[in-house]
Amino acid sequence: MSVFRYDSPLMQFLTKAADLIWVNILVLICSIPVVTAGASISAMSSIIYKILHNEDIMVTREFFKAFAKNFKQATVIWLILLVIEGVLAYDFYYSRQIGTAFSEAMKTAAVVLFVLVYALILYVFPLQAHYYNKTKDIFKNAAILCIVHPVRTILMLVIRAAFYGLAVLIVLDYRFIPLLVAFGISLPWYFCACLHMPVFDKMDGIDRNGNKIAPETYKKESGPEEETEEPESDDADEEGSSDGEEEKPEA
């Protein structure tokens, strides 16, 4: 088989790399206003899900489709997380200025809480992009996944920390900054998705290639196939959700 055939491993690798580069650029552009970063990350999570399942996608069209669909809820989630992380960062900075024994305890607590909240972020946006749920349930489900899958969570935190460290080294040498523009956001999210997506697949009842092996209950792209306890309404929209699915992620 020719290595240049569309279905060859080399061409599939190059296609995925090109998709990750382009979605990284789209995220950077759409995150410039800052408040839209949540919707950008959510849209990227949707694209990465499809890349992992070897789906043929038109990245630009599907990115902006997911961006628009998830904008309201993803923006609310992003602002909540931004405020929390901002407060914790300020607490850390303020405690360093005081220099007392109590401030040292405050600094340690701020760091621990910051890491825990960041662990939630690694699950929150993929959950928001992939499932119908109220905002409060997305946070609850993300916390459940963090607790039930501690090894996956720790590995994802290590991946993000490694990429942040690499990013700092790259910034120190401006010649490598194009690497950040190409892969700085999408690549670490791709590796993290490799860890949490099998959990999603198990809940969805599909295999690694996206083939159904059990009835889907809440896959976002196809929409809910059964009525849930809460019908679609303006009240549901106010909660930032298109459906009232209440079932929680399981281990």
Per-residue pLDDT tens over the stretch 140-191: 999 999 999 999 999 999 999 998 888 777 777 777 788 888 888 999 999 9
Q: What domain range is 106 assigned to?
A: 9-238
How far apart CA 87 and CA 93 sit, in angstroms, is 10
C-alpha distances (whole Å) from 179 to each of 7, 25, 174, 197 are 27, 11, 10, 25
DSSP the chain: --TTSTTSHHHHHHHHHHHHHHHHHHHHHHTTTSTTHHHHHHHHHHHHHHHHTT----HHHHHHHHHHHHHHHHHHHHHHHHHHHHHHHHHHHHHHHH-SHHHHHHHHHHHHHHHHHHHHHHHHHHHHHHS---HHHHHHHHHHHHHH-HHHHHHHHHHHHHHHHHHHHHHHSGGGHHHHHHHTTHHHHHHHHHHHHHHHHHHHTB-TTS-BSS--S--TTT--SS--SS-S-HHHHHTT-SS---PPP--
Give the residue, 6 or 76, on which the prediction is more confident.
76
For residue 226, which amino acid is it? Answer: E
Residue 72 lies in a domain: yes
Q: Please compute the mean of the pLDDT values over residues 206-233 and round it to a whole number.
A: 49
Radius of gyration of the chain (CA): 19
Tell me the pLDDT tens digit for each residue of 46-75: 999 999 988 888 999 999 999 999 999 999
User: Count of domains in the chain?
Assistant: 1
pLDDT (tens digit, 9 = 90+) per residue, 68-118? Answer: 999 999 999 999 999 998 998 888 888 877 777 777 888 888 889 999 999
Residue 76 pLDDT = 96
Share of the chain above pLDDT 70, in %: 79
pLDDT of residue 242: 40
Residue 249 covered by a domain: no
Determine the pLDDT at residue 243: 42
pTM of the model: 0.77
Please tell me the predicted confidence (pLDDT) of residue 42: 95
Q: Which of the four pLDDT bands, split at 50, 70 and 90, describes residue 207?
A: low
Residue 100 located in a structural domain: yes
Mean pLDDT of the 9-18 span? 85
pLDDT at 150: 93
Look at residue 211 and tell me if it is in a domain.
yes
Evaluate whether residue 214 is within a structural domain. Answer: yes
Q: Is residue 244 part of a domain?
A: no
What mean pLDDT, rounded, does the chain reach? 81
Q: Which one has a higher pLDDT value, 35 or 173? A: 35
Domain membership of residue 250 (yes or no) is no
Whether 2 is in a domain gets the answer no
| Paired residues of 212 in beta bridges | 206
